[in-house]
Amino acid sequence: MTPLSFRGEKVATEKEILLTITMLVSNRIDTIGRCMDSIYPLLQRIPGELIVVDTGSTDGSIEVARRYADRIVPFTWRNDFAEARNAGLRLARGEWVMFLDDDEWFEDIEEITEFFESGEYKAYNRGVYLVRNYGDQEGSSWTQSNAARMVRRRPETKFIGRIHEYIGPQEGPSKYFSAYVHHYGYAFATQEERIRHSLRNLTLLEEETARCQEDVRLLAHLVQEYFAIGEMGRAQDVCRKVMEIYQPQDRNYAGYCYNISLRAFMEQKDWAGAYDWGKRLIGQGAPTKVALLGTIGEMISVCHKVGRYREGINCLKKYLDLYEAVRKGSAREEAFSDLSRYLQDGEKEYMYAEGIALAVLDGDYEQAESFFLMKDWKAVPLPLFKDTLDYVVELWAMTGYRREYTEVLDRVMKSAPCRGQIEEKLTEYARTDREAYGRLLRIFGAGEDTSCMSRRYRFLYYAAAKKRGLGTAGEKGSSTEPQETESGDRMEEELTRLWEEAENPLLWEGEMWEAICQNNLHVWRIVERTSLDRWAAQVRGWLEAWLPAKDGSETVSPEADTDIPESGYRADASIMQERTVCSGELLLGELPRKEAVSPHARFLDIKYREGMLRKKIQRTAQSGEPGREQREQILKDMKPFGCRVLDLYKTIYRPEIFAEGRTEILPPEAAFAVCMDKALRARQEGDLPTYLRQIAEAAKSYPGMGESCKVLLRIEEEENRNRITYAEQMEFILLAERMKHSVRVMMEGGNMEDAARILSQLRILVPEDRELDTLEELVRN
């Protein structure tokens, strides 16, 4: 932002100056502008001055500061923050002085401005605003502390301390502002950067604490830096020393050490040690209420880790009582920065989530439900509670429907990771505890979330409600659950939306298809509204999902009949009761006669037959070396399959495309059928080379049937032991096709040199391929 006018346009006499703001500036080009803009309205509205101390800026920061500052004070840095600040303070003329850093800025300066404009400042000697220290660049994690950075200027006023300096004397009465500054100075991009910053501070702090061995303020900051670099043992040693020597005026720094001594155990994952130490701390009492609050809060997690669930629940109850007492206090407690997070609403909400986990682990679902209802699920983003989501789902599964559960579920379902986590739990309950599974479906049934997952479980709930005809309390006619007619209508509605939104409905689990079939829902009416291209993609995906794996084991579908039936498909109740129901078989079995001739139905019929054929050929190949008898059976099965494919696609594509053999513009199944038709005709005429070439072309046109074609060529290989087998020839052809595809990609990217190199290799592999002539011409031009 650009200020409305330069500071040079406002000149105040010494008598007029009410407030002097001092600031150290050094290489903060990213923040200096926001910092200056935030205090600019204050300096425009009251008599004031800005004194900037330049500690060696080289990135242009000082040029920005000149546009706002009344004075620029050059200063040679000597590892002493108080000395640098006092260089500016000595030039101050204001009745009050305030200091600010160049990497922080006010959210709103109005409250402080009014403090001076109204004359309220005359009743105070000190002003305290807030500093919000962020832990990340996104601003999602922060702590907040009091900043006593405004004092009435006296002859003895000065900054004290080489590091973590403060301005004194700090005498009351004090004015506490709700105004705060944003500070990203601790939001480091990497852990290495964080450690470098702490090591820089440690050098000064260790020197100062060696000289002032009982300065609790410095010792607390030393603990902070030890903790930051992972020196937990040293941090604990200094904490113990502070707890022995602190005086009442040091209670806020001592309170930080009290709390951090427990967290050091937790950082080392010494949960047994943390439990014993935490019990000891709570038993002896804390220097401040905030420190006690934070320590009890940490003990909730410690009890979770050591399996003392009931004790953790009791800690949470103590925490909540103390939280309310501290928040209701009339004065703002001057807590060390890191402790302020325990007073934030987000921290309390996290404690509720821990309480739900503890109560569920303890088997006290009534208590878990109580914590669930206390928690404000809108206060904090839900992913924060991902670790406890399993316990929340278990609470729902064990206690059943509540309106509040459904409201939270609708919110949770907006997060993709949470959806996955919930689905895992639902799958587990469907397998191990059908009653719990039914309770979860009931919660989905009352929801409004529109994701495919929610719709699917809502559909299953409606199916269950229709089947039972009972309310959730077990009473027929309960108004809390839809009745049979209503459930049927809702099922039709949800199924239609599900089908239209799902990526591939044919891959739904068996329970969905069981519900569809048992309720006689009209799936084909929905299918017919789907575009043929989308339907074809879904059927292809379904086919690959239930075909046997290459080792011969079934992936989804139960073992099918060996012979391919000419009409009719298995769709008996025993299949529907299995969890591995084959949706394609069920659809074909339920296909009305009048719809059997639609393109959608015929395509599914073809892919089903293809799957049966591929499974049969694969079993033939795995039974040993197939011979002439097996070849004849495969060819016998191929012929009617190919005829069905051609019959379908001849109703979609022009006849001349088939007459001219233009397989390149046909769908893969149709191109395969054309090649196989030519192969079968050539074999019938005794033209073995054409037969083999067309078999290879068929595999190239449709890789899905490639393994089946390879079986046929292996049979010919056994009968015709040439120098290079036909199976290898087919491998060469398939490899050549992949290489030609790579050449085209390279040419599109302008990589003609590599394309030419690969084409020269292809000439050796398939010298008679005429397509190479065209590609070589394009590369040359």
pLDDT digits (tens, 9 = 90+) for 55-72: 999 999 999 999 999 999
Each as own residue / partner, the long-range contacts of residues 660-667 (CB below 8 Å, 24 or more positions apart, any chain) are 663/697, 663/701, 667/536
Q: How far apart are the first and last CA of the chain?
A: 55
Residue found under tokens 């199944």 = 669
User: Per this entry, what is the length of the chain?
Assistant: 781
Nearest to 259 by CA among 229, 297, 233, 300: 297
Q: How far apart are CA 729 and CA 692, in angstroms?
A: 10
**pLDDT of residue 4 exceeding 60:** no
Q: Are 55 and 24 in contact (CB under 8 A)?
A: yes
Would you call 764 exposed, middle or buried from its count of C-beta atoms within 10 A (0-12, 13-18, 19+)? exposed
Mean pLDDT, rounded, for 112-140? 90
Q: How confident is the model at residue 765 (pLDDT cuts 50, 70, 90)?
A: low
Lowest mean pLDDT among 367-381, 398-412, 758-772: 758-772
Report pLDDT for 485.
Answer: 52
Q: How confident is the model at residue 45 (pLDDT cuts 50, 70, 90)?
A: very high
- Per DSSP, the residues of 428-478 read HHHHH-HHHHHHHHHHHHT----SHHHHHHHHHHHHHHHHH---TTS-TT-
**pLDDT of residue 454 exceeding 70:** yes
Report pLDDT for 210.
Answer: 87
Nearest to 27 by CA among 102, 89, 100: 102
Report pLDDT for 720.
Answer: 67
**pLDDT of residue 123 exceeding 50:** yes
pLDDT tens-digit map of 281-324: 999 999 999 999 999 999 999 999 999 999 999 999 999 999 98
Distances (CA, A) of 557 to 509, 542, 607, 706: 11, 10, 14, 21
Residue found under tokens 């004359």 = 119
Q: How far apart are CA 759 and CA 765, in angstroms?
A: 10
Report pLDDT for 590.
Answer: 63
Q: How confident is the model at residue 6 (pLDDT cuts 50, 70, 90)?
A: very low
Residue 752: CB atoms within 10 Å: 15
Token representation of residue 318: 């103590």
CA 302 to chain centre: 27
Q: What is the bridge-based pairing of β-strands 104-106 and 96-101?
A: unpaired
Distances (CA, A) of 206 to 162, 166, 221, 239, 251: 11, 18, 10, 15, 21
**pLDDT of residue 730 exceeding 70:** no
Mean pLDDT, rounded, for 353-375? 96
Residue 25: what are its φ and ψ, rounded to 5°?
Answer: -130, 130
pLDDT tens-digit map of 654-694: 988 888 888 888 999 999 999 999 999 998 898 888 988 99
Q: Are 318 and 333 in contact (CB under 8 A)?
A: no
**pLDDT of residue 756 exceeding 50:** yes
Nearest to 353 by CA among 329, 389, 323, 317: 389
**pLDDT of residue 593 exceeding 80:** no
- In which element (H, E) is residue 495 found? helix 484-501
CB half-sphere exposure, 709, CA atoms < 13 A: 30
Token representation of residue 101: 């850093």
pLDDT tens-digit map of 539-584: 888 888 877 654 444 443 433 333 433 333 333 333 333 333 457 7
Q: Are 277 and 242 in contact (CB under 8 A)?
A: no
**pLDDT of residue 470 exceeding 80:** no
Mean pLDDT, rounded, for 112-124? 95
Q: How far apart are CA 170 and CA 334, in angstroms?
A: 13
The residues near 290 (Cβ < 8 Å, ≥ 6 apart) are: 255, 326, 333, 335, 339, 340, 342, 343
Q: How far apart are CA 605 and CA 561, in angstroms?
A: 16
Token representation of residue 150: 């405004």
Q: How far apart are CA 618 and CA 598, in angstroms?
A: 30
Task: Cis check for the bond before 558: say yes or no (omega within 30 of 0).
Answer: no
Q: How far apart are CA 96 and CA 76, in angstroms?
A: 26
More confident call, 706 vs 725: 706
pLDDT tens-digit map of 151-200: 999 999 999 888 888 898 888 899 999 999 999 877 777 777 778 877 88
